């Protein structure tokens, strides 16, 4: 990368880049190029806090539960908040996408965020049409989620098209729930989704992945992340391939101007383990990834895969001097979850409001 490529010039260039261009460039990059270039691209987005600033690393608190049990979910939320997780979003993958179940969960998250004055946003990762229907019935939805892919046929296999995504965005914008910004969309992607739906037209999975970011870019998202090792070994066989793909995806997204995070993950049928995830986490944190996932002990008991833990995010912050979103960081210090100084240290006791909430439990 030339010394003339600066943060402002890359930002100015982004709208002119097509996904095919950035995918092609990524293919001639070594790992260090993928890191160096991505680290220069700054994509800042806002809803109730500010994500993507320099030297910041945000986390999605992912308190999934196999039966969507509200108390079980709340227990994981406490665990995450006390480890400083949740500034990107508190986002639940529901076990069922019934409108009633989704509405119950979104109302609970809304109440928790208001009650404890947490500067963050909530999301239930259900189909966009379910979110639209829930909004029509009055549900307090912050972010509208959708999985997207890089071909029209693959998106149609997900039951979406550009018009439906636009409808979802407008429904969320209509609620005007953001305080510092109005970026209301959350998208997930992953190499192999088009091939898996037999909708790839013979194109390689990495180019199609970059095309998904161009779909995302159209809708001014707050968050976009690749779920890099989720689909399985038929697409990314082992740790080595997952690491390379995670860095390529982040590079392509950032170059296109997308607020790129990464679900650094693997499944139990892939040839990968925690060591591979540590490598990718460290490299992505060096590359300035906007956010990663946070889950109790790396074990998603609902989706049956392993992603980064609350502890993992603190490791990355410690090693690279990264901090949470500024509004959320203030909240952590005010609540006494993090120590007041600049070090990454957990405080000694539960904050008062949480002590009160737990006091009645046996």
Partner 1 sequence: MTNDKHVIVGADPWNKLRRYTPARIALGHAGTSMPTKPHLEFQLAHARARDAVHHELDIPALQGALQSRGYETILLHSSAESRPHYLQRPDKGRRLDADSHATLEASPRPAEPYDVVFVIGDGLSALAIEENAAKFLDAIMPSLVKDGWRMAPLSIVKEARVAVGDEVGAALGAKMVVILIGERPGLSSPDSMGIYMTLNPRVAVTDESRNCISNIRPGASATDHAAHRLLYLMTEARRRGLSGVKLKDEAAALPKAGPESADNFLIDER
Q: Under 8 Å CB-to-CB from 169, ≥6 apart: which residues? A: 144, 184, 185, 219, 220
Q: Which two tokens stand for residue 166?
A: 């636009």
Q: Does 86 participate in binding partner 1 (rule CB under 8 A)?
A: no
**Least distance in angstroms from the C-beta of 18 to partner 1:** 27
**Least distance in angstroms from the C-beta of 290 to partner 1:** 21
Query: At 165, phi and psi to the nearest 5?
Result: -65, -40
Helix or strand run (H / E) with residue 332: helix 326-335
Taking Cα atoms as reference points, which of 146, 149, 151, 80 lies closest to residue 116?
80
In the complex with partner 1, which residue's Cβ is closer, 33 or 278? 278
Q: Does 339 participate in binding partner 1 (rule CB under 8 A)?
A: no
> What are the Cα distances from residue 318, in Å, to 170, 285, 324, 358?
39, 11, 12, 29
Q: Under 8 Å CB-to-CB from 68, ≥6 apart: which residues? A: 92, 94, 95, 96, 101, 104, 105
Q: Is 225 helix (H, G, I), strand (E, B) or coil?
A: strand
Select the span of 6-14, 39-47, 232-240, 253-261 touching partner 1 (CB under 8 A): 232-240
**Least distance in angstroms from the C-beta of 162 to partner 1:** 16
Candidates 9, 18, 32, 96: give the one binding partner 1 (CB under 8 A): 96
In the complex with partner 1, which residue's Cβ is closer, 63 or 261? 63
In the complex with partner 1, which residue's Cβ is closer, 66 or 174? 66
**Least distance in angstroms from the C-beta of 134 to partner 1:** 10
Q: Does 296 participate in binding partner 1 (rule CB under 8 A)?
A: yes
**Least distance in angstroms from the C-beta of 360 to partner 1:** 5
Residues 184-203 interacting with partner 1 (rule: CB under 8 A):
196-199
Is the separation of the CB atoms in 145 and 188 below 8 Å? yes
Residues 340-359 interacting with partner 1 (rule: CB under 8 A):
344-350, 354, 357-358
The number of residues in the chain equals: 362
Q: Which two tokens stand for residue 119?
A: 């500067």
Q: Does 174 participate in binding partner 1 (rule CB under 8 A)?
A: no
- Residues that bind partner 1 (rule: CB under 8 A) add up to a total of 80
Residues 299-318 interacting with partner 1 (rule: CB under 8 A):
299-306, 309, 311, 314-315, 318
Count other C-beta atoms under 10 Å from residue 319's C-beta.
13
In the complex with partner 1, which residue's Cβ is closer, 45 or 309? 309
> What are the Cα distances from residue 106, in Å, to 58, 71, 110, 125, 213?
21, 14, 6, 10, 26
> What are the Cα distances from residue 320, in Å, to 83, 84, 157, 299?
17, 16, 40, 24
Q: Does 320 participate in binding partner 1 (rule CB under 8 A)?
A: no
Select the span of 32-40, 78-86, 183-191, 207-215 touching partner 1 (CB under 8 A): 78-86
- x/- mask, partner 1, residues 2-41, rule CB under 8 A, reads ----------------------------------------
Q: Does 182 participate in binding partner 1 (rule CB under 8 A)?
A: no
Gap between the Cα atoms of 95 and 334, Å rounded: 34
Q: Does 65 participate in binding partner 1 (rule CB under 8 A)?
A: yes
Candidates 6, 9, 18, 98: give the one binding partner 1 (CB under 8 A): 98
Residues 107-166 interacting with partner 1 (rule: CB under 8 A):
108, 111-112, 115-116, 127, 129-130, 133, 156-159
Helix or strand run (H / E) with residue 195: helix 193-196
Select the span of 39-47, 205-213, 252-260, 269-277 touching partner 1 (CB under 8 A): 269-277
Q: Does 204 participate in binding partner 1 (rule CB under 8 A)?
A: no
Is the C-alpha dihedral spanning 232, 300, 212, 151 positive or negative? positive
Q: Is 330 helix (H, G, I), strand (E, B) or coil?
A: helix
Candidates 7, 54, 273, 330: give the one binding partner 1 (CB under 8 A): 273
């Amino acid at each position: 990368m030339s010394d003339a490529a600066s943060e402002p010039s890359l930002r100015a260039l982004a709208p002119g880049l097509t996904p095919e261009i950035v995918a092609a460039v990524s293919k001639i990059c070594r790992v260090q190029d993928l890191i160096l270039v991505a680290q220069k691209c700054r994509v800042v987005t806002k809803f109730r806090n500010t994500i993507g600033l320099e030297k910041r690393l945000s986390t999605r608190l992912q308190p999934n539960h196999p039966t969507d049990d509200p108390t079980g979910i709340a227990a994981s939320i406490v665990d995450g908040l006390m480890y400083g997780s949740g500034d990107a979003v508190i986002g639940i993958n529901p076990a069922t996408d019934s409108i009633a179940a989704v509405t119950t969960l979104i109302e609970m998250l809304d109440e928790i965020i208001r009650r404890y004055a947490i500067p963050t946003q909530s999301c239930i990762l259900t189909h966009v049409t379910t979110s639209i229907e829930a909004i029509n019935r009055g549900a307090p939805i912050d972010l509208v989620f959708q999985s997207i892919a890089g071909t029209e046929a693959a998106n149609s296999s997900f039951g979406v098209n550009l018009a439906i995504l636009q409808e979802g965005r407008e429904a969320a914008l209509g609620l005007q729930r953001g305080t510092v910004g109005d970026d209301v969309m959350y998208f997930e992607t992953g190499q192999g989704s088009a091939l898996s739906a037999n909708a790839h037209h013979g194109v390689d999975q990495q180019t199609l992945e970059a095309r998904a970011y161009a779909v995302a870019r159209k809708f001014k998202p707050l968050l976009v992340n690749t779920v890099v090792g989720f689909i399985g070994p038929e697409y990314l066989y082992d740790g080595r391939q997952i690491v390379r793909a995670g860095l390529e995806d982040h590079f392509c997204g950032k170059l296109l101007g997308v607020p790129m995070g990464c679900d650094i993950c693997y499944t139990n049928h892939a040839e990968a383990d925690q060591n591979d995830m540590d490598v990718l986490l460290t490299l992505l944190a060096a590359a300035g990834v906007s956010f990663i996932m946070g889950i109790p002990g790396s074990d998603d008991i609902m989706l049956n895969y392993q992603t980064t833990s609350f502890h993992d995010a603190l490791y990355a912050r410690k090693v690279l001097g990264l901090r949470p979103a500024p509004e959320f960081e203030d909240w952590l210090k005010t609540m006494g979850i993090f120590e007041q100084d600049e070090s990454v240290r957990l405080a000694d006791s539960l904050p008062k409001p949480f002590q009160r909430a737990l006091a009645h439990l046996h």
